[in-house]
Structure 1
Amino acid sequence: MAWNEPGGNNQDPWGGGNKGNNQGPPDLDEAFRKFQQTLKGIFGGKGGSNGGNHSRGGSAGQGGGAGLWIGVLVIAVLAYIWNAIYIVDEKERAVILRFGKYVETVDPGLNMYFPPVESKFQYPVTQINTYRLSQSMLTEDENIVEVAMSVQYNIADLKDYVLNDSNPEQSLKEATQSALRHVVGSSEMDMVLTEGRAGLGEEVKERLQDYLDQYGSGLNIVQVNIESSQPPRQVVGAFDDVIRAREEEQREKNKAEAYANQIIPEARGDAQRILEDAEGYKQEVVSRAEGDAARFSNLLGEYKKAPGVTRERLYIETMQELLGSTSKVLVDVEGGNNMMYLPLDKLMDSKKAKASATGMSAPSQVTLTQDEISALADQVTAEINRRVSSTRQGRTAR
């Protein structure tokens, strides 16, 4: 039955009592004031203006002290639980130590640990961190270079990162300087500044990772970038001159190699052709000598059979070979004491001169007409007859 219904004895739940049958809304200020008094009674405060006799006040004070300690305990428990509950993000991991001893590595999610018995170390393990370094150092050939580099790394093993090294970041810095100085100190300046710059970063990365693994730092080197490598500013001008001279040297070498690539194949071709010509000449000479030897052997056999005939034939063949290409004719008259000389080449030259005088083009090959041949034959015959007659008259006179 509702408190304000008939027969409900007007029991106001807000403590207002019967206020002259006034059924309006409860007094909120009065309700709040009563709530404050109740809290004060719980935590040891006095009950209000009509607190009652002394015995009731003593009981209320004892109850309020107990309630205070209970409230403090509840708050402490809630605060402990609030601090013990933690969330591990996707990019993070957490390591739990119990009395300083490793317990587990916590994966992402909602978790809870119990301090001070347990300790929690929570770090991002997938985040890429960057450490930059710029140093001046000596190369193997005792030149100074300035190298600027950046190291990108992340946490690969959180347990090692927490337990094995008290300051992994400082170990990374010192190991980076050591690795860089070792690699640069083992290289010449030209390699550091020019073509060896790309491989320099890989060498530093391998050596640095080896150092960190020996330390057990739990760090992983993702990339080492050589951002710049240059000589000291005080000698940049001289170094630029050296670079230009080296480029000029390389250009001249390239030109010489191009010329050599052009000349050497031609020389090799000429040499090969000479060798082939010599081999052909050798084969020709050998074959001719073998043929001459075989012909001489055959001729010797024929000579042994008929020496006179062979000598005559050899003489005729030799004279035919010698006089076959000459433009002169020698006529030997039987019984005469001399030979008649017919200069056919002179006759040919005179005919060419006559053709040039008449304005006709001289043929490349001069031929005699039939009449000219007949006239020449008549002259030869008359000369022969004359010489024969002269020879006979001389013999008669003797």
Structure 2
Amino acid sequence: MAWNEPGNKGNKDPWGNKSGNDKGPPDLDEVFRNLSKRFGGGKGNGSGPKVSSFGLIIVLGIAVVVWGLSGFYTVKEAEKGVALRFGEYIGEVDPGLQWKATFIDQVFPVNVNTVRSIPASGSMLTTDENVVLVELDVQYRVTNAYNFLFSAVDANESLREATDSALRYVIGHNSMDDILTTGRDKIRRDTWSEVERIIEPYKLGITIVDVNFLPARPPEEVKDAFDDAISAQEDEQRFIREAEAYSRAIEPKARGQVQRMEQQAKAYKEREVLEATGKVARFNLLLPEYKSAPKVTRDRLYLDAMQIVLSGTSKVLVDSKSSNNMMYLPLDKLMQKSQSNAKPRSVNSNSTTSSSYGSSTHSSVPLDTRPTRGERQGRN
């Protein structure tokens, strides 16, 4: 019930005054005087309240508790804290619940696990005086939190400027064909090395993890021509790979053929050597016989040679001088034999020389070209 509503007994206001004697809110001096009495203070002397030492101790205790509780803080798992005391570096703080002296120590958390990236792009001039549009993305991680915060005004901006400078330097020392086609990996590695060389003296507290060289583009005015050039380069590489695959498939076959031919040559050599050795041995065996009976040995050799020569032919040789008997020739059998032989041997030379020894009994049957006994004796 409100103090001035009807029915309020006493009709008192909130300050304890009756409605008929309203003097306004109480005096502040009186309020302080009452507080001093509660905390054991003395009487006022007109200059203000006097607080006792016990009250000051309680107030200071509360302030100390509040100050101590305000010093607790948490460093996240992926972070490192850089601690400063009156602005001086005192060390790094590990992840977890930590405490610092408020108004004395300062802690700046830095994420050291996240991989950050800085892009760089622009139109750049190549060594062959062409303009190319390139894009680069540098990925890095903070490895020294103090250097990252205080070695430079802004480590990220310093790295961005170093990346742009390194990229322009590398692009300026390469041709446009290399940038667009085969030299991309070399440009990426050269840019990585150049960025590390530039930022090393500044001690930014960062480590480059990777450098991604995005596909470069020629100006729009000549884009179609460069697309054709890139397609031709890709076709060249494809043809080279196909030729290498064909070479890898043919080479083992060629090596096997070479080995087979070498083995055949060795076998042929061994066979010829063995045959020659056998002929020499045979000749050495015949030589004593020839010396003891030269004529008989020559006749025997002659007959053996003629037997070998004439054994594969279907021709019949007749000595007309040594025999005058009529001979019956089995022509049907001779024809069958000549047809059955795959490679019949011809002795046509005998038919041309037979006229010197006598006439042939039949034109299709050549005469024997062996010398007669008397001719052989005359020759010897």
Report TM bin, short chain.
0.5 to 0.7
The answer to whether the 8 A contact 1:125-1:156 is kept is no
Aligned partner of 2:108 among 119, 122, 137: 122
Counterpart CA distance in 2 for 1:224 and 1:28 is 79
Residues 28 and 178 (structure 1), Cα distance of their counterparts in 2 relative to 1, 3 Å cut: farther
Equivalent runs, 1:200-279 vs 2, <5 Å: 204-205=191-192, 208-209=195-196, 211-279=198-266
Structure 1, residues 333-367: CA drift from partner, whole Å, max 9, x if none?
A: 8xx5666685847x228987xxxxxxxxx99669x
Aligned-pair RMSD on alpha carbons?
5.1
Residue number in structure 1 paired with 2:160: 173
- CA drift of 1:86 comes to 5.4
Structure 1, residues 172-227: CA drift from partner, whole Å, max 9, x if none?
A: 22222234345545666555445665676566556545544431222344554444
Matched, 1:29 2:18: no
Q: Give the TM-score taking structure 2 as reference length.
A: 0.60
The answer to whether the 8 A contact 1:95-1:159 is kept is yes
| DSSP-derived class of the 1:37 partner | coil
| DSSP-derived class of the 2:75 partner | coil
Q: Give the TM-score taking structure 1 as reference length.
A: 0.58
Counterpart CA distance in 1 for 2:84 and 2:195 is 29
| DSSP-derived class of the 1:166 partner | coil
| DSSP-derived class of the 1:171 partner | helix
The answer to whether the 8 A contact 1:96-1:103 is kept is yes
The answer to whether the 8 A contact 1:151-1:225 is kept is yes
The number of equivalent residue pairs is 312
Query: What is the letter of the counterpart of residue 232 of structure 1?
Result: P
Counterpart CA distance in 1 for 2:258 and 2:324 is 55
Query: What is the letter of the counterpart of residue 274 of structure 2?
Result: S
The sequence identity of aligned pairs, in percent, is 36
Query: What is the letter of the counterpart of residue 348 of structure 1?
Result: D
Structure 1, residues 94-147: CA drift from partner, whole Å, max 9, x if none?
A: 5454554323445554644465xx573624324654432213334566654332
Residues 349 and 199 (structure 1), Cα distance of their counterparts in 2 relative to 1, 3 Å cut: same
The answer to whether the 8 A contact 2:314-2:334 is kept is no
Residue number in structure 2 paired with 1:63: 48
Structure 1, residues 266-310: CA drift from partner, whole Å, max 9, x if none?
A: 444444444444433333333333322222222221021223332
The answer to whether the 8 A contact 2:67-2:102 is kept is no
The structure number with the bigger radius of gyration is 1
Residue number in structure 2 paired with 1:318: 305
Counterpart CA distance in 2 for 1:87 and 1:151 is 37
Matched, 1:134 2:129: no
The answer to whether the 8 A contact 1:152-1:224 is kept is yes
- Structure 2 unaligned residues grouped into runs of 5+: 1-7, 34-42, 342-360, 362-380
The answer to whether the 8 A contact 1:146-1:229 is kept is yes
- Structure 1 unaligned residues grouped into runs of 5+: 1-22, 45-55, 353-361, 367-379, 381-398
Query: What is the letter of the counterpart of residue 216 of structure 1?
Result: K
Equivalent runs, 1:243-392 vs 2, <5 Å: 243-330=230-317, 332=319, 344=329, 347-348=331-332
- CA drift of 1:148 comes to 2.0
